[in-house]
Structure 1
Amino acid sequence: MSRKIYVFDTTLRDGEQVPGAKLNKRQKLEIAQQLAKLGVDIIEAGFPCSSPGDLEAVKAVSEQVKGPIITGLARAVNQDIDMVWEAVQHAERPRIHIFLGSSDVHLSKKLRQDRESALSMAVDAVRYAKRFCEDVEYSTEDASRTDFEYLCRIVDAVIRAGATVVNIPDTVGYAVPEEFGDLIRRLKENVQALDKIVLSVHCHNDLGLAVSNSMAAIRNGANQVECTINGMGERAGNASLEEIVMLLRTRHASYGAHTDIRTEEIYRTSRLVSRLMNIPVQPNKAIVGSNAFAHSSGIHQDGILKDRTTYEIMKPEDVGVRQNKIVLTARSGRAALRHRLNDLGYTLESDQFERVYNRFLNVADRKKEIAGQDLRSIVEIELTKVTETYSFHSLQIMSGNTMVPMASVTLTREGKQHTDAAAGNGPVNAVFACIDRIVGQQGILTDYDLKAVTMGKDALGEAMVRVEIGDVVYSGIGTSPDVIEASARAYLNAYNRFFANSH
């Protein structure tokens, strides 16, 4: 009989801890509604004690998103637990999630506590949470580096205190599959009470083993897996939801387990998270990368044309990827564009469509054909935009290998144009300096990436930047057939996110 694996999605909490990926309340709510449509069992909507904004966002998700269990994270202190309950109490199915370090390195270096006091703290926290909520999850932070006998004592004690879910995290991605699977098996053998509650795992990807460790845990008896869309998360990220789900579906005979995820919503969810967090998905990312179902080898193409199963173990449509070769040009009207957007899975409001249409025309005037990847990039960047304090108008560049690069940039604010000029050590640097001068801020560029969205000399360029403004990192993305313009739009996008966050 197939065993159900509960999918605990922490994109809105652990996934959001990526620098530059901060979401506002509206964005969190939009992602949470899509996660519910995807069919996740639990949504960890945030860390309410981290900020008033996160508290309000978790409240909004709890009140408006129906279906999944809604939870928030709390340290093992009463004040945190109070705030989580304040945030999730109106959820259709609320849960309080508590964590506390359990490894000796966490106890001695971070918490400055001994094992017995930490154990007492854990039990007291679970008992306190049970006053408010029947469903309480407890996480033994850094479990994979915790003394096994002590870990057993903690797990047994918090279950006796009322925990309904116990989570075993590989917090720093230290485990390897054989060891981690064995840890789960030994825990189930030594703590009999685990048979009465949900045993969860939460794996990080520091050594690239988050999914492998999660699957080893499932094979050895874990029945909840904590993961994120696109593997987003702290440092190298978390276990990827889409990879775990499709592993269980594609290799069902090997694992004898399933999820209730609606897999046809995977790609749409991936793109939404990428767009709202302004974090591109790497092309070779399993399941959702742009190359995941692409074939360039002549031998592969020949096999695919004869039978797709020769080189594909999953159908693209099973994860919501639509294969379509329709190409748009500047002569394509609104009807053709809307039809193509529908084919790609986008349903836009009228104002959103007009923004996309205007940007489409702007790009199509300079690029012969607009392929699917071009259009996806245009749509996702236009929909990512927060309310624009400044909008891009134009730029001019003077550059060469024997002169100091100069740039002039014009931005629009409240209908009024603002122009400034600056020199730089390159044309992109000069453009960024112009934007700094116009907006009256001094941004520090911490990351810059430029790639071609499609192939060919007239390929659409996509620029991604991360800019530190006032001790906070903001990300931005921009596209254009002109890579300097794409860079300018990305840098301005980051500033507009800063201004939106400041209001």
Structure 2
Amino acid sequence: MPSHRYRDVYDRVEVPLIHRDWPNARLTHAPLWVPVDLRDGNQALAEPMDPARKRRFFELLVAMGYKEIEVGYPSASQTDFDFVRLIAQTDIAPADVAIVVFTPARRDLIERTVASVRGIRNEVVIHMYTATAPTWRDVVLGKDIAELRELILSGGRDVLEFAGGLPNVRFEFSPEVFNLTEPDFVLDICDRMTTLWDATAQRPVILNLPATVEVATPNVYADQIEYMHKNLARRDSVILSVHPHNDRGTGIACAELAVLAGAQRVEGCVFGNGERTGNVDIATLALNLHAQGVDPMIDFADIDEIRRTVEYCTRLPIHERHPYVGDLVHTAFSGTHQDAIKKGMAEHRERAAASGIAERELEWRIPYLPIDPADIGRGYDAVIRVNSQSGKGGIAYLMHTEYGLDLPRRLQIDFARHVQAHTDDTGLEIAAAELRELFDRTYLDTTAGPVGLKEWRTTDACTEITLSIGTTTEHSEHHGIGPVEALTAALARVGFPVEVLGSTQQSIGAGNDGTAITYLEYRMGERTGWACGRSDSVLTASLAAVLRAANSGPGA
């Protein structure tokens, strides 16, 4: 490894901090969380969000309780500009939610950014940034320190010219790549900006100090933040903010130590999306506080719905081992772990009964489970079902090795319930062939049921659906949506409302012998379940899965 090509950050940025208070500080309350999924996270997507996805994500953030949301980079794209205008022209943003928009320090782009927010009744934050680190000054901007200082101050004056008279507007400045910028220079420019913008306690300026590219251990970032915290002018009129990235995999630690060091505000993405290895994961940060007994001030009571929405909007999957939200984070495969969890749950119930305190109110101290899964909308079924199957041959392994089926993790858990019922009835181990037969009967059989798909066809403008219900048929036409959405709409019209929560497609085999299978998670009324479809095409398999869901009925 040619490690000699790289330099220790201490050789580039020496922090003049002698006495540190952050090592003795404690996290006692939540900072202000600012999700940047709609700007920074959106820019990092191979397929940026369309307007519908941006709106759905924004509504999720509002529902979760975020009070300040960065909604876009309105001078960078028409989609972002139009989304900001949508906020101005509708009531989708509650009155207590501040709207943040992002702009570089360039006059024409600042003017367009301010134009995008005119008419917004909420508090608005104009967030201006410029890179300040030496490599960026030399290679990207081609400016020395004096020239860069004037560029930033000129941008600040432009912000004042275009937005200074708007009573609901506050200002934010980010010295991009703060963590690689000389401390004295960045302190000087931040103080100049708070003077220029006349920061007061009534109208504070946000100074956001990004670890744009993570290059050092988290203690270095903590030192940098504490130095700024202790030396900024007008400190009582400044909201000190951080924006860590995750290049070294320590973005969470950087953010937590930065808050210990004096930061009051954290920018990041809900599940850590962003360029390269991502922005800091503010869901993990918030739930880390929850696990320490500190109210995170954000609602994660239905984390699976949050995950589904984020996956839909970003088109990115959440890893099964992702902290708190991953499908496997409350699952133990090890026999010793399973035994400890079972004993811990039993002891928890006994303590609750002896004390007269409800189990949901009792102190949580279960081995291997740092929080109660019920806090985030999870049951104990994943642990219990996987435990009950851990010695019965490996359902998922057999389905994959014998038949090539890669069942989604939650479908594995659902199927385990059916396998458990089968083995309880027979008292025998279940062989691979029996396992496949049970799977087909449970999730794939479309021969029985009150409703059938008699015919469907689609053109560029319309999808036609013909359903059979007993001896009658129902024909409907659907415009502007695809065949799967058209089928769910047609089923809803005849009393079979299927809500698709998520789907995964898989191809088995290759060429003319290939088979497509769709694994579909759905909701009908208060009931959720799984259905599958199989065909020679992904689309037909998806339609078959929806039809199977419609015919599953309560209790299937």
The 8 Å contact of residues 18 and 234 in structure 1, kept in 2 or not, is answered as: yes
Equivalents in 2 of 1:313, 1:281: separation in Å?
A: 20
**How many residues matched?**
369
Change (3 A) 1:99 1:484: farther
Task: Kindly indicate whether residue 156 of structure 2 is the aligned counterpart of residue 115 of structure 1.
Answer: no
The 8 Å contact of residues 126 and 136 in structure 1, kept in 2 or not, is answered as: no
Change (3 A) 1:486 1:291: farther
Equivalents in 1 of 2:441, 2:43: separation in Å?
A: 40
The 8 Å contact of residues 48 and 58 in structure 1, kept in 2 or not, is answered as: yes
Q: Which residue of the partner structure matches residue 495 of structure 1? A: none
Equivalents in 1 of 2:209, 2:77: separation in Å?
A: 26
**Matching of residues 313-462 of structure 1 within 5 Å:** 313-324=370-381, 367-369=440-442, 460=519
Partner SS, residue 374 of structure 2 = helix
Which 10-residue stretch deviates more, 56-65 or 8-17?
A: 56-65
Q: Which residue of the partner structure matches residue 127 of structure 1? A: 157
The 8 Å contact of residues 71 and 88 in structure 1, kept in 2 or not, is answered as: no
Task: Kindly indicate whether residue 203 of structure 2 is the aligned counterpart of residue 166 of structure 1.
Answer: no
Letter in 1 for 2:136: H
Correspondent of 2:105 among 70, 76, 92: 76
Deviations 1:107-135 (A, max 9, x none): 11111112122222222323332342531
Q: What's the offset of the Cα at 1:482? A: 6.0
Equivalents in 2 of 1:39, 1:21: separation in Å?
A: 27
Q: What's the offset of the Cα at 1:485? A: 5.1
**TM-score, normalised on structure 2?**
0.59
Q: Which residue of the partner structure matches residue 283 of structure 1? A: 320
Q: Which residue of the partner structure matches residue 174 of structure 2? A: 139
Letter in 2 for 1:218: V
Q: What's the offset of the Cα at 1:460? A: 4.5
The 8 Å contact of residues 64 and 300 in structure 2, kept in 1 or not, is answered as: yes
Equivalents in 2 of 1:321, 1:72: separation in Å?
A: 35
Equivalents in 1 of 2:45, 2:438: separation in Å?
A: 35
The 8 Å contact of residues 30 and 289 in structure 2, kept in 1 or not, is answered as: no
Equivalents in 1 of 2:263, 2:212: separation in Å?
A: 16
Task: Kindly indicate whether residue 309 of structure 2 is the aligned counterpart of residue 272 of structure 1.
Answer: yes
Unaligned runs of 5+ in 2: 1-26, 200-204, 346-365, 386-409, 415-436, 445-458, 466-481, 487-506, 522-530, 543-556
Partner SS, residue 138 of structure 2 = helix
Q: Which residue of the partner structure matches residue 220 of structure 1? A: 261
Partner SS, residue 75 of structure 2 = helix
Correspondent of 1:23 among 39, 49, 63: 49
Equivalents in 1 of 2:213, 2:171: separation in Å?
A: 24
Equivalents in 1 of 2:316, 2:114: separation in Å?
A: 31
Q: Which residue of the partner structure matches residue 93 of structure 2? A: 65
Correspondent of 2:134 among 91, 97, 104: 104
Equivalents in 1 of 2:29, 2:238: separation in Å?
A: 15
Partner SS, residue 301 of structure 2 = helix
The 8 Å contact of residues 44 and 275 in structure 2, kept in 1 or not, is answered as: yes
Task: Kindly indicate whether residue 31 of structure 2 is the aligned counterpart of residue 5 of structure 1.
Answer: yes
Change (3 A) 1:315 1:485: farther
The Cα RMSD (Å) is 3.9
Q: What's the offset of the Cα at 1:428? A: 7.6
Q: Which residue of the partner structure matches residue 300 of structure 2? A: 263
Partner SS, residue 231 of structure 1 = coil
Change (3 A) 1:486 1:214: farther
Equivalents in 1 of 2:50, 2:117: separation in Å?
A: 17
Equivalents in 2 of 1:43, 1:159: separation in Å?
A: 22
Partner SS, residue 65 of structure 1 = coil
Equivalents in 2 of 1:122, 1:265: separation in Å?
A: 43
Q: What's the offset of the Cα at 1:189? A: 1.9
Partner SS, residue 172 of structure 1 = coil
Partner SS, residue 264 of structure 1 = coil
Q: Which residue of the partner structure matches residue 151 of structure 1? A: 186
Letter in 2 for 1:317: A
Q: What's the offset of the Cα at 1:317? A: 2.3
Partner SS, residue 128 of structure 2 = strand
Deviations 1:202-236 (A, max 9, x none): 01111111111111101101010001021111111
Q: What's the offset of the Cα at 1:177? A: 0.5
Equivalents in 2 of 1:235, 1:428: separation in Å?
A: 34
Q: What's the offset of the Cα at 1:299? A: 2.0
The 8 Å contact of residues 367 and 459 in structure 1, kept in 2 or not, is answered as: no
Deviations 1:459-492 (A, max 9, x none): 9599xxxxxxxxxxxxxxxx967698559989xx
